[in-house]
């Protein structure tokens, strides 16, 4: 089993319910156990500001799925929950599921980059990741606690425990 961290985000169509449904689906993935999930955080959008705030969380999984198989399953969950890939970078979405970390692997393929290339720049990823694994070291980037210490997270608001 490999420990995997998944970033979750939503800002459309009842985001809290979108994340709850996604967490339930993650728990049903084959060859996978959901360890735990961070609290939910509200954050301002990255990119276009004329969209609602996001709700974000991070989930920890133990899986035997290969990285690209996991990615395919995550994208299927996104699609089931109404995700549209319309070309608007960082636009509003019903659900976004990102493979943040896949064990200590460094993956650079056309479909998947791990560690997630933007995670060190995203407080809404680092804070919930730190909640789950404060002593975690991110391959090639260093301890999550050090990365978080350099990040301004004043705009993050804890709104609830994940369901």
Answer positive or negative: Cα dihedral of 39, 43, 47, 49.
positive
- Residue 44 annotated among the catalytic residues of the structure: no
The single residue of 34, 42, 73, 96 carrying the catalytic annotation is 96
Q: Spot the catalytic one: 93, 150, 155, 161.
A: 93
111 included as an active-site residue: no
73 is known as an active-site residue: no
Q: In the block, which residue shows the tokens 């959008």? A: 45
Catalytic residue from among 34, 73, 83, 122: 83
- Residue for token digits 């369901």? 163
Helix (H) or strand (E) holding 71: helix 67-80
Region for residue 82 given its phi and psi (left: phi exceeds 0; alpha: psi -120 to 50; beta: otherwise)? left
Q: Which of 34, 42, 73, 98 is catalytic?
A: 98
89 belongs to the catalytic site? no
- DSSP secondary structure of 129-155: HHHH-TT-EETTTEEHHHHHHTS--TT
Asked if 141 and 117 count as a contact pair (C-beta separation under 8 A), the reply is: no
Q: Provide the annotated active-site residues.
A: 83, 93, 96, 98
């Amino acid at each position: 089993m490999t420990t995997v961290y998944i970033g979750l985000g939503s800002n459309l169509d009842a985001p809290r319910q979108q994340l709850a449904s996604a967490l339930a689906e993650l728990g049903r993935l084959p060859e996978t156990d959901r360890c735990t999930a961070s609290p939910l955080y509200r954050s301002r959008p990255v990119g276009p500001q004329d969209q609602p705030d996001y709700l974000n969380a991070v989930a920890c999984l133990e899986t035997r799925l290969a990285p690209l198989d996991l990615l395919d399953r995550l994208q299927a969950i996104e699609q089931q929950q109404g995700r549209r890939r319309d070309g608007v970078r960082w636009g509003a979405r019903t659900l976004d599921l990102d493979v943040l970390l896949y064990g200590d692997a460094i993956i650079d393929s056309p479909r998947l980059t791990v560690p997630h290339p933007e995670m060190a720049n995203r407080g809404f990823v680092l804070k919930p990741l730190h909640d789950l694994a404060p002593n975690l070291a991110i391959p090639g980037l260093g301890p999550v606690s050090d990365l978080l210490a350099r990040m301004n997270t004043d705009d993050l608001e804890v709104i609830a425990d994940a369901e």
